[in-house]
Structures are given as C-alpha cells and as structure tokens.
C-alpha cells in the first residue's frame, strides 16, 4: 500500500471494531497505526498494514495466514503479542499489542554513544529470551535490529516484527525483487543465501545489536549496502575495546564469538548465548573460595561434583535445547514444503508450466534447508553422546521450567529418543526420518 493510500485509513473503523487513530511509523514490511477498540477506547492496539508490493506476490495469502498463525502462538514477556490478522479488500492487517515506549534504536540515538553496561546486559538477555522462545516454536526472526526492539514503560525489551519475513524470504526476493532483512545486521550466510539459515543467524544479529549498544557503533558499516555486505562477508569483527576501553575483555570476547563468520564457531543458540551473558554478569568467585568449598564438600570428588558438574550439566542442557530447536525448525520447513507442493500441483492442474517450475525450485530449496537442519541436529545429538551417559540422563530427566508448552515437550521427547538410539549404535536420523516424526 502506498503511503498516500495508507494515510486515508486514519479516522476509519476497520474490521467492525478497530478505530484507526494515527500513524505510528512505516518500514519495509508496512505501515503501523495506533488503533483503539471502537467500543472501548481505552484498549489500544498497533495495527500494521502490509505493503502491497508484498501482498501482490502470487500465493501470498497462504503464506501470510500460515505464518500469522505461527506468530500468534508466541506468548512471551519479551515478544510483542499478535492478537489478530485479517484481509480487507486488497489489504492485509496484523493487530498487535501496543507498546507505549521508544525503540532500542531511539535509546542508542539519544545516548549518542555506548549505553550503560547494566542496561545493555538486561536488554540483550531479554532479546535472547524472546528469540529463544520463537526458535523453540520453529520460527526465525531474520531481521533482529534495534528498531525491532521496543522498550516498554517498565524498561522491558519487547521483540516485534516476527514471522512474516521468514516465510516471504525466497518468494519476496525472486518475485518482488527485494530481500527481507537489514544488511548491517545480517549474518554472512544470510547474505549468501537468505533461504538457508537457522537460529545461529539470529544469534549473529543479536551479537551486532549487543556490539552497537556497547560501542554506539555498528561493527560492520560502509558507504553503500554493497560495501556493508562485503564487510560482513570478509572483514573480521572490530576490537570493541578500541572503541570503548571500559568494556571488559571477557565481554568483548563474548561479542566476538557471537559475530564469528562461521556459524559452527558461534553460540549454537540464543539460550547458550544468554547463559554466557549471565556467566559474565555474575560476580566473580575467587579461586581460593572455590577450593575451600571443594575441600569442605569432600576434596577432589566434591570439587568435581559440586563445581565442575553444574557447568557440564549446563553444556548438556544447551546441546539438548539446540537439538530440539533444530528439530522444530525442520518441522516448520516441512509445513512450508507441503504448501509449495500443493502450489505445484495446482499450477500443473491449471496448465501453468512456468509457475510449476518456480514451485519446483522452491521445493528443492526447502528440502536443502531441511537437510541443513537435520545436519545441525545430528551434530548436537552426537555432541551429547560424547558426555558421560549418567550425566546426560540426569540432564535429560530435568524438565525445563517452560516445558508446559506442548510443542517444546514433543520436540524434547523426539530428541531424547534419538539420543538413546545414537548411544545404542545407530546413526543420527536423516532429514526424511525426522520429517516423518514431526508432530503435524
């Protein structure tokens, strides 16, 4: 929708009960308005109207509704809740929770330099918590950046603009001539092939955001988008301490790991990243105190059991959560595969060979993505199998605090079953085997 058309919505009631009061802003995906419930004006919403350059894409309707349904399932304190989605005429609407507060980009601009470390650590923890929730539901963000982080009146970070970009990535680029994402925050693999990314691409973007909060600067910048892309692909991350000597070397190393060019060398998920942030933020324990505690608890055995063992358990938990996330992402791709196969069949039925061929290419791309997620899953399962079996069993027997979400329980159960098969001598499951066990 062109901006001049969009502005005619102000003062109108849409979908029977949404009164459009004013325009909040506009971005690559659409225009956002402040709306009120027509019968209860105290209830406010943010209503996003998607650009028609997106909604004119063939087969957009199915992708929009499928991904909107996925996004509506994300209920988390650090994610802006989506309440409804609908179509009126040629326009597509998302009804979101209204957050009355600035964006993280506003905070950085106002500061004109680094934000206070305490505030930075709180914000990045909350951003990572929101991303981890999405990844466990099989949803990638793919456009993590300060303008997409809202800070509410309690100072809590809230992620927005979830979901739609992920499903539109391939189609939007090939059919509308555009790429979803912001190059300053895009991982090298997202720049090379936007349709072949996993949760580690969001880890990279969160690392860029963390760097920007700590230094007031982007780690990779340039006079043109092409120059930024080249820097993202080839230039090593900058030394944060050169820009801000007050940054502790451990924190700088943590950011450097998140910004590794090779996704295998990064944090393997947002949970692992968040735990590293927490470990840095905890007050240091003096070595003599550790040894004294170990001696009191029973010497060397006590040291292993009470000091080293929790760290090892944490590592196993990290592998298990990363494996479950990879499984969830593969299953999400399976849903996309089925939609594209339906599109290919429909194109064949109506006698449109060009459209059928386009769907065939997209199907091949989705299958490649599924194979990549299966490979990542296999690596995590294999890593778990390298630990002491009793230790892994203890870790797997501990149900996560958020496991009341049915999807997470299902993927966790699949991960546990595959771990047991691998430790019995079987190979990690192939992509097709994992797909056959997907819960939908």
CB-based contact 370:351 (threshold 8 Å): no
The answer for residues whose C-beta is within 8 angstroms of residue 81's C-beta and 6 or more apart is 74, 75, 96, 97
Over the range 340-351, which residues count as b (16 or more CB within 10 Å of their CB) and which as e? beebbeebeeee
Residues 90 and 188 in one domain: no
Q: From residue 15, how far is each of 1, 66, 85, 92, 277 by CA, in Å?
A: 18, 20, 10, 11, 44
Residues 69 and 212 in one domain: no
In whole angstroms, what is the distance from residue 166 CA to residue 70 CA? 11
Q: Count of domains in the chain? A: 3
Q: What is the pLDDT of residue 407?
A: 60
Query: Which one of 261, 282, 303 terminates a domain?
Result: 282
Q: What is the pLDDT of residue 92?
A: 87
User: Quick count: other Cβ atoms within 10 Å of Cβ 34?
Assistant: 17
The number of CA neighbours under 13 Å toward the Cβ of 139 is 28
CB-based contact 321:313 (threshold 8 Å): no
CB-based contact 109:136 (threshold 8 Å): no
Query: Which one of 70, 98, 126 terminates a domain?
Result: 98
Reference 413, options 327, 333, 330; nearest CA is 327
- Helical H segments across 177-222, by residue range: 188-192, 199-215
User: Quick count: other Cβ atoms within 10 Å of Cβ 81?
Assistant: 16
Residues 417 and 294 in one domain: yes
Residues 33 and 162 in one domain: no
In whole angstroms, what is the distance from residue 141 CA to residue 130 CA? 10
Residues 43 and 145 in one domain: no
The answer for residues whose C-beta is within 8 angstroms of residue 343's C-beta and 6 or more apart is 59, 62, 355, 359
In whole angstroms, what is the distance from residue 232 CA to residue 259 CA? 10
In whole angstroms, what is the distance from residue 276 CA to residue 257 CA? 10
Q: How is the beta sheet containing 18-26 ordered, strand by strand?
A: 13-14, 18-26, 30-37, 40-50, 91-97, 82-88
- Helical H segments across 79-160, by residue range: 104-111, 117-136
Residues 120 and 260 in one domain: yes
Q: Could you report the average pLDDT of every consecutive run of 10 residues in the chain (440 residues)? A: 59 88 81 87 86 72 71 86 87 89 93 92 95 88 92 91 52 43 90 86 96 93 91 90 87 95 93 92 57 50 45 75 84 85 85 85 86 88 86 72 57 88 90 89
Residue that is written with structure tokens 């793919």 in the block:
142
Q: What is the pLDDT of residue 163?
A: 52
Residues 8 and 64 in one domain: yes
Residues 115 and 140 in one domain: yes
pTM of the model: 0.67
Q: What is the pLDDT of residue 8?
A: 81
Q: What is the pLDDT of residue 398?
A: 66
In whole angstroms, what is the distance from residue 162 CA to residue 142 CA? 8
In whole angstroms, what is the distance from residue 211 CA to residue 197 CA? 21
Task: Provide the 3-class DSSP secondary structure of residue 14.
Answer: strand
402 tagged catalytic: no
Q: What is the pLDDT of residue 4?
A: 43
Residues 153 and 77 in one domain: no
Helix, strand and coil percent figures for the chain, each rounded to 5: 60, 10, 30
Catalytic residue among 7, 91, 143, 239: 143
Residues 271 and 210 in one domain: yes
In whole angstroms, what is the distance from residue 335 CA to residue 366 CA? 10
Range of the domain at 303: 288-436
CB-based contact 322:271 (threshold 8 Å): yes
Domain of 62, CATH number, reads: 3.30.200.20
Domain of 119, CATH number, reads: 1.10.510.10
Query: Which one of 58, 82, 98 terminates a domain?
Result: 98
CB-based contact 49:96 (threshold 8 Å): no
Residues 43 and 120 in one domain: no
Residues 276 and 314 in one domain: no
């Amino acid at each position: 929708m062109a901006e001049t058309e969009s502005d005619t919505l102000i003062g109108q009631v849409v979908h029977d009960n949404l009164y459009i009061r004013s325009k909040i802003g506009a971005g690559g995906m659409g225009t956002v308005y402040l709306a009120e419930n027509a019968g209860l004006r105290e209830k406010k919403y943010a209503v996003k109207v998607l650009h028609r350059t997106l909604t004119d894409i063939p087969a957009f309707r199915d992708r929009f509704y499928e991904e909107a349904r996925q996004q509506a399932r994300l209920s988390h304190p650090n994610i802006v809740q989506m309440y409804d989605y609908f179509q009126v005429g040629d326009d597509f609407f998302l009804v979101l929770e209204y957050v009355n507060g600035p964006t993280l980009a506003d905070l950085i601009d106002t500061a004109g330099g680094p934000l206070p470390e305490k505030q930075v650590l709180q914000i990045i923890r909350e951003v990572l918590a929101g991303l981890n929730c999405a990844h466990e539901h099989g949803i990638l963000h793919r456009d993590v950046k300060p303008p997409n982080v809202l800070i509410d009146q309690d100072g809590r970070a809230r992620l927005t603009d979830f979901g739609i970009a992920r499903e539109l990535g391939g189609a939007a680029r090939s059919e509308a001539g555009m790429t979803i994402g912001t190059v300053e925050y895009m991982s090298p693999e997202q720049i090379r092939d936007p349709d072949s990314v996993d949760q580690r691409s969001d880890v990279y973007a969160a690392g860029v955001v963390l760097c920007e909060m700590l230094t007031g600067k982007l780690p990779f910048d340039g006079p043109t988008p092409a120059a930024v892309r080249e820097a993202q692909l080839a230039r090593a991350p900058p030394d944060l301490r050169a820009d801000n000597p007050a940054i502790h070397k451990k924190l700088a190393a943590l950011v450097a790991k998140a910004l590794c060019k090779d996704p295998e060398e990064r944090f393997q998920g947002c949970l692992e990243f968040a735990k590293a942030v927490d470990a840095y933020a905890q007050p240091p324990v003096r070595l003599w105190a550790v040894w004294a505690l170990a001696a009191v608890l029973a010497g060397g055995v006590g040291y292993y059991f009470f000091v080293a063992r929790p760290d090892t358990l944490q590592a196993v938990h990290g592998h298990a959560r990363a494996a479950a996330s990879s499984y969830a992402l593969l299953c999400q791709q399976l849903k996309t595969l089925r939609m594209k196969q339906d599109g290919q069949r429909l194109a064949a039925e109506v006698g449109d060979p060009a459209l059928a061929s386009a769907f065939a290419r997209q199907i091949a791309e989705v299958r490649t993505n599924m194979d990549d997620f299966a490979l990542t899953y296999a690596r995590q399962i294999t890593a778990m199998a390298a630990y002491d079996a009793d230790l892994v069993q203890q870790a797997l027997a501990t149900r996560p605090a958020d496991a009341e979400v049915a999807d997470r329980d299902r993927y966790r159960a699949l991960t546990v079953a595959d771990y047991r098969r691998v430790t019995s001598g079987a190979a990690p499951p192939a992509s097709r085997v994992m797909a056959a066990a997907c819960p939908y």
